[in-house]
Structure 1
């Protein structure tokens, strides 16, 4: 392969995903078969680049326009034929639209504004974004309202066994990993993206009141288990819905906002704990913790009202051959009918390719037997696993008990936990920018060692004999940990997993990745009380500090960068054997040491990929 300078991450690439379209049925089948073979081959030759070709590259204008006419006739869209033709010409070569004589100056200006005014979008696009943000808030609040509530219901129900405490808190994530994540496909198939979000938010709404009304620990356990049916489906569907409705030029930022608004919901969960901690009722025992859990019904109630005011995913409509509905939805989500027609044709072409890719294949088997797919699954599994085993959710769910163990009274512990939520949200905001500039891999390589250091600092602080110094150091360590977690292992896993898999197995891949994170989330929730009891806080924090060191080693040697890469470039990245990835970065260790530690002038570093 050719070599060219790069940095820690794979080089930033300016190539964009090429647009696909349809031509004559016979010729399209040939093209689709070639693309399918390229995507499923899963291995590149050592001396060659494998790149997907734009299926439209060899077509004449007449061939393209003829296919557009056939498409319009087949789907009863002849009333927008003029826009479809112009849109297809733009999609064939997006960079050359200025030379198209078919476009008026006003239409060219519309296309120019996609780059110069990226956030100039119609009202419905922002309304849809608010819906996705609300769904993320539901997710975050469901996770942390229990943090303060457990300080009261453990005592009220006499739950002193550490394993039972962990099971109560982790029940939603057990249900999500075993059942909830795997209901995503059928719910989406039969009820659509909006329907899946509505059902999952309604379950969150109902389970909130059940939790608040629970009269025994096992009744609370059942209500929290029910909550898990919502957690998996919602966390998988909402980012997909946002991505399918968004224009390509702002899609990454909108998908990234899932994590940011989840962090906001996490903060609201802490706020609810502080707001209701002193509320009492003469005849209702545990009125404060019941209000904490009941307050989590507010965000899903708002989402349930809002969701059917938004258009359904155009892609979902087209998968059911409802092209007029898809076009109407795109008209609400795009600034002009020209852009709506262009995207309608593009999505149609992408679906045709995916149909061919899926045809006759056992998708589960392909995810693990095709080397390219297996490496994507390995990397997605790693980032999702480390999102839990970096130790963050032990803090999210048990920070109040951690602060009480350090010497805080219950009131101070709850207020200090609120600071964790605020810190988590504030420091998630920079990731909207850094995840696409600094890179996914570099964010992890920077934050894993720092998270390990701050966990060790927190754990060792429990040995400080003076109460004031001990509590101050424990709080400082946990806050510093949240500061470095929020822009790193916070946003990277869902973003990375969403782009790592090829299109034809992406649904299954995301279900696998989501089930992984919620499964290990349950393990964290279940084991933390017993871990602290057996090894004391020093050993428990040290355990997760060690996992962060492992995370750094694996990320450095085995995790490919996916920042700013097109589909064909991602195929090349994940087609490279892991062994070669390890050998490359092992050989780069002296280079990094000489450049960044000894501050010497060194030759340009070797590169791992060639995208030319």
Structure 2
């Protein structure tokens, strides 16, 4: 099929004349799908309170030493990487809605195994299962939401995916103050069960239904989500449902989004976010907080606040501006973090107050406490900057930029990249700190943040206010998308492989 033929058969799910639909059930459907990311966030946050709880638990509860605790936290990323691959297959073959329903099973099964755990292997097996569910949910939920949302609210609803993730993390931190590991795992079963219940009443996405030649079901879904299917453009769908083939990577509409999606996921993890989060409690201890565990809750509150801010302004500020602003803030904060470690590093005749990896000793002084507040400020600034842009936007763009017929494979590769990089950075950051020293490791993260900003300015298109079909047309270079709200066309924002267009 030629690009011209595909243009004529592309589903155009937009109201005539560019008027916005008035349906509000789309928000209910987006909330139902976002319960998957809420469960995903709870899984990520679970290890922080569960590890200390398991260490003080009496037999027959499994005991965690340092190495086992490290694997208890990190093995989720391996399960999620596998979930990304499985989710990519499910989203194309089972559909968006059924994939979300199915991911509730490993969520509940994983927590059930943890509750019943009699040894370390059962604990790790349960975490692996919940990680598998995280990988599926992190892929399917953004795709589902982007395909049911109309352009005016797609940024808002898409950003709610990351908002629900950080809310789930915060929920785990707060519940961990009052619940032991077993009861906390039981609480973790509630969000996926609620998602299973609510999603049963939600429709499949109209775009997926049209790709499966289910015209009546697609019209019914539009009626449910947008209030009316009357007057909507209904072009013919493709004669055959296209799957992904390697040869399609030669097409600009496929390889450009692939490069952007994979690069954004890699830069997100190389920014140093996991390292900053890992040392949060240590930094708060150095600042003389009476309860260092309060650090987790403070970090969680900052994430929720600024992710919510990003969601509210996403469709006005745009993706590129927030990514750039976020990256610049992260450059300065990671540089300040590195400076803090440089100033507190012990010399031959000088002991320091930072106990990290055995590289430096711990003798706090009033001056050192003051420097620790530099680290607290840098950490909070970094988390706020990350939450505004590089936290939610790579996931949002992943769900927007890929054509329908390659979306499953392409988003699967992006999710696999993200979780693999998360595992690699988490496990190898300690080794990197031994080689480069702590300050060098954070300055390296600052350099990656700079590269991320430059990549955004050079390669990432603005997608706010555009339909998914207009975004696909842009990458293919077939026709010039319409301006947003009657505004004049912007200057070219993207060029790869000689194909440029206005967006």
Match of 1:584 in 2: none
Distance 1:546 1:324 in 2: 52
Instruction: Report the secondary structure of 1:340's partner residue.
Output: coil
What's the CA shift string for 1:393-444, capped at 9, x where partnerless?
Answer: 334455335545x3667x7222121111111111112222443333322322
C-alpha separation in 1, matches of 2:316 and 2:150: 20
Distance 1:297 1:472, change over 3 A: farther
Q: Is the 8 A contact 2:267 2:452 kept in 1?
A: yes
* CA 55–262 in structure 1, closer or farther in 2 if over 3 Å, else same: closer
Matched-pair contact (CA < 8 Å) for 1:274–1:418: no
Q: Do 1:449 and 1:552's aligned partners in 2 also have CA atoms closer than 8 Å?
A: yes
Q: Does 1:453 align with 2:293?
A: no
User: Deviations for 1:214-241, whole angstroms, at most 9, x for unmatched residues?
Assistant: 3433332222111122112112212222
User: How has the CA–CA distance of structure 1 residues 342 and 188 changed in structure 2, closer, same or farther, with 3 Å as cutoff?
Assistant: farther
Q: Distance in 2 between matches of 1:221 and 1:401?
A: 26
Q: Residues 226 and 53 from structure 1, CA distance in 2 versus in 1: closer, same or farther, beyond 3 angstroms?
A: closer
What is the CA-CA distance between 1:196 and the residue it aligns to?
1.6
Contact 1:166 1:529 in 2 (8 A): no
Shift of 1:207: 1.1
1:35-74 aligned within 5 A: 35-36=4-5
Q: Which residue, 285, 295, 315 being the options, matches 2:187?
A: 295
CA distance in 2 between counterparts of 1:401 and 1:198 reads 39
What corresponds to 1:187 in structure 2? 90
User: What is the alpha-carbon root mean square deviation over aligned residues?
Assistant: 3.5
Q: CA deviation at 1:383?
A: 0.9
Moved more, 556-565 or 567-576: 567-576
* Cα distance in 1 for residues equivalent to 2:420 and 2:317: 29
Closer, same or farther: CA 476–217 of 1 in aligned 2, 3 Å: farther
Partner-residue secondary structure (3-state), 1:429: helix
- 5 Å-filtered alignment, 1:21-100, equals 33=2, 35-36=4-5, 94-95=16-17
Instruction: Return the index of the structure with the highest Cα Rg.
Output: 1
**2:78 — aligned with what?**
174
Summarize deviations over 1:299-347 as a string: whole Å, max 9, x none.
1121122221223334444555544444444333232xxx32445x63x
* Length-normalised TM-score, structure 2: 0.79
**Equivalence for 1:262:** 165
* Alignment of 1:510 onto 2:414: no
TM-score w.r.t. the length of structure 1 is: 0.66
Alignment of 1:113-124 (within 5 A): 115=20, 120-122=22-24, 124=25
Change (3 A) 1:196 1:34: closer
Q: Quick check: 1:555 aligned with 2:456? A: yes
- Give the structure 2 partner of residue 224 of structure 1: 127
Take 1:198 and 1:492, find their aligned partners in 2: how far apart are those partners? 25
* Equivalent pair of 1:209/1:293 in contact (CA under 8 Å): yes
CA distance in 2, matches of 1:306, 1:517: 28
| Distance in structure 1 (CA, Å) of the matches to 2:117 and 2:441 | 31
Q: 1:332 to 1:606 in 2, by over 3 A?
A: closer
Q: Does 1:304 align with 2:196?
A: yes
* 1:335-484 equivalences in 2 (<5 Å): 335=227, 339-343=228-232, 346=234, 349=236, 352-353=237-238, 355=239, 358=242, 363-367=245-249, 369-396=250-277, 399-401=280-282, 403-404=284-285, 406=286, 412-462=291-341, 463=344, 465-466=365-366, 468-484=369-385
Matched, 1:206 2:109: yes
What is the aligned partner in structure 1 of residue 65 from structure 2? 159
Give per-residue Cα distances to partners, 1:566-587, cap 9 Å, x unaligned. 56764676468xxxxxxxxxxx
Decide whether the 8 Å contact of 1:440 with 1:561 is kept in 2: yes
**1: CA distance between counterparts of 2:382 and 2:414?**
24
Give ranges in structure 1 of 5+ residues lacking alignment.
1-31, 38-51, 57-87, 97-113, 277-287, 577-604
Alpha-carbon separation, structure 2, partners of 1:452 and 1:342? 49
Q: CA deviation at 1:189?
A: 5.4
Note the 1:562-581 alignment, pairs <5 A.
562-565=463-466, 570=471, 574=475
Cα offset, 1:607, TM superposition: 5.3
Gapped runs of 5+ residues in structure 2?
58-62, 345-352, 354-364, 478-489, 494-499
